[in-house]
Structure 1
Amino acid sequence: MIARIPPTRPGRIPAHPAVPHGPVMIGDTVAVRSDLDRIQAALDGTLLAGLPIGPGPAGTVLVADIDPHRLHEAWQAAEALVPLTGRRPLLVTDDFDDTLGIRPEPRPGPSDSRLRAFAEAGAACDPWLTYRHHSEDDDVDEGQAGHYARGLAGVDLTDLVSDLALPVPRPELERTVYDRLLADAGRHARVRDAVRFVTRTSYWFQPTGVQLMLLPTGDVRSSAYWVDFYGAPTEHHRWKLGEVLAQWRDRWDARLVASWGTMLQFQVGRPPAAGDEAWTVAGQLKGLAGNLDLSRWELAVALPAGDAWFVHDRP
């Protein structure tokens, strides 16, 4: 199995000016308590019932003491309640940031106008101009072709590219491997069985200390405002990450489950079909996940075989 290196820096929730916003009226203790009571009541009868709950950073609400062995179930319980709470859920960890916890007093988040501008900026951008893997510009010469055709799965496919004139752009070589592999049912099945683990929840990183962060928005694109991810270090990057989240949700029903600082984990309701769909998504995932070690063609083989995506980008 390919090693997953845990986050190496503390999480960073953006700091924001003291302005009221959204469902919690900052500065109004009664309103804050009422909102927490409403959320707590919504959690009754779920896996999250009875867990500590209180204000988190930047207008969020935190539910603490999430069972690390039931992370996906905890997130699913909160996701089902978005129509009631108006808050998108996101699993976060305090393993690498001991300041991430329930606060004695609520902290302000963005104003409605600022959050609206954030979402509009994301909708107006093309995130794939930024999230593009550096290997897309590589050329493969004769001494490298075998390496890229073998990938990490351990299935030697060098014969599938033996007729290519070298050097050749790496995307062209990998697409040739992928297309010809699709026509070879036996070897395709061997590769799929070797790489499908990356599209299963059992491959996800599992921290020790986990909290459920309820974001003060129900909008997918806007939710990126609060996502701590190494690959989105500035607000401009988070605009683009928000557009990625919106595109993936619309096309693949891919929902962000967890952010561990250098990792993102997604539940996927409509996995891409083999062929052009899987190839496109594999390229997008590689662009966002600089440390996802599988070759693009291997990832394209894996994607139709699972309902979980894993993104890894670290220093």
Structure 2
Amino acid sequence: MRSDLDHLEAALVGTPLAGLPIGHGPAGTVLVSDVDPNRLQEAWQAAEALVPVTGRRPIMITDDFVGTLEMSPEPQPGPSESELRAFAAAARSAEPWLAYRDHGEDHEVEEGEVEFYAGGVAGVDLTALASDVVLPTPRPTLERTLYDRLLADTALHARVLDTVRFVTQPDYWFTPDSVLLMLLPTSDVRGSGYWVDHYGALTLEYRHKLAEVLAQWRHRWDARLVASWGTMLQFQVGRRPTPGDEAWTAAGQLKALAPNLELSRWEVAVAMPAGDAWFVHDRP
């Protein structure tokens, strides 16, 4: 109804979203169009700060890859409260890290393969740190050994960080030509997964799992979903993982959710404490 839109328009006054076209979107959402791509994060932060006022969690979306998203003058039907509660309950019982996983970690590293895994995609080779590793060994064991030894070498760690820090910086994010703000009809993080359009969650089962990832990451890292570009998700992180076990765990989860992130897990673990922008890329 127009009164709902008037309430939202009033809430957006004084933000980068003020005065932009607003209308009803699909499944109970509200769309704000013509967001300046150069102020994408600033606009999202303004909408995120207003969640206690609007009751709607914000996500940036784009119509660059599909037909133009049309606004409707009337609200479009969304899930009922009972349907949304059922969705959140199913997400809560999901076990996302059994489904989202880096299957490359199942590999046993044999003689002659160490250099491949220790070579470093970003440019720093740690093969020398693995000279005494008994082979064959599981890939995660080798990479964790490399990571732990790297943490003990301040100078080498600094060299690696210089090459990988980009992966947790906003400059690494994708910026579409057309940006819209989608205001979801819920403030619940887990429930917000109902509306997230992502290639890695094409079925209802996987949408439950992705919704649980959103909830877990929010709880542990204060990671908030900024944008969903179809094959990409972008997060702002309020609590960076500390070097060691936290960074290693977070790197493993990010790699599991983002199979197109080409860095080794030990490289991602180095980057995790150095930035507050996580990028998930999962494409065909």
How high is the TM-score relative to the length of structure 2? 0.98
Q: Is 1:119–1:221's contact at 8 Å kept on the other side of the alignment?
A: yes
Tell me how far 1:103 sits from its aligned partner: 2.6
CA separation in 2, counterparts of 1:100 and 1:172?
A: 47
Amino acid at match of 1:260: W
Give the whole-Å Cα distance in 2 for the aligned partners of 1:94 and 1:210: 7
Using the alignment, how far apart are the partners of 2:75 and 2:68 within structure 1? 14
Give the unaligned 5+ runs of structure 1.
Answer: 1-31
1:104-159 deviation per Cα after TM superposition (whole angstroms, max 9, x unaligned): 44321101000000001111121111111111211111222101101212111101
Residue 213 of structure 1 is matched in structure 2 by 182
CA distance in 2, matches of 1:138, 1:160: 20
**How big is the shift at 1:162?**
1.1
The residue number in structure 2 matching 1:164 is 133
**Separation in 2 of the partners of 1:235 and 1:34?**
33
Question: Structure 1 residue runs of 4+, over 3 Å off?
Answer: none
Matched residue, 1:249? 218
2:26 matches 1:60: no
Deviation at 1:213, TM superposition (A): 0.3
Q: How many residues align?
A: 284
Q: Which moved more, 1:80-89 or 1:136-145?
A: 136-145
Q: 1:51 aligns with which of 13, 20, 34?
A: 20
SS of 2:34's equivalent in the other structure is coil
Distance in 2 of aligned mates of 1:156 and 1:296: 14
> Structure 2 matches for 1:136-215, cutoff 5 A?
136-215=105-184
Q: How many angstroms does 1:99 deviate by? A: 3.9
Q: Hey, what's the Cα distance between the residues in 1 that align with 2:262 and 2:213? A: 21
- Normalized per residue, which structure has more helix? 2
Counterpart code for 1:81:
L
Alpha-carbon shift at residue 234 of structure 1 (Å): 0.8
Offset of residue 184 of structure 1:
0.5
2:87 corresponds to 1:118: yes
Consecutive unaligned residues in structure 2, runs of 5 or more: none
2:188 maps to amino acid: D
* Structural RMSD (CA): 0.8
Matched AA of 2:209 = K
8 Å Cα contact 1:224-1:238 kept in structure 2: yes
Question: Within the alignment, does 1:305 sit opposite 2:274 as a pair?
Answer: yes
Identity among equivalent positions (%) equals: 72
What letter corresponds to residue 180 of structure 2 in structure 1? Q
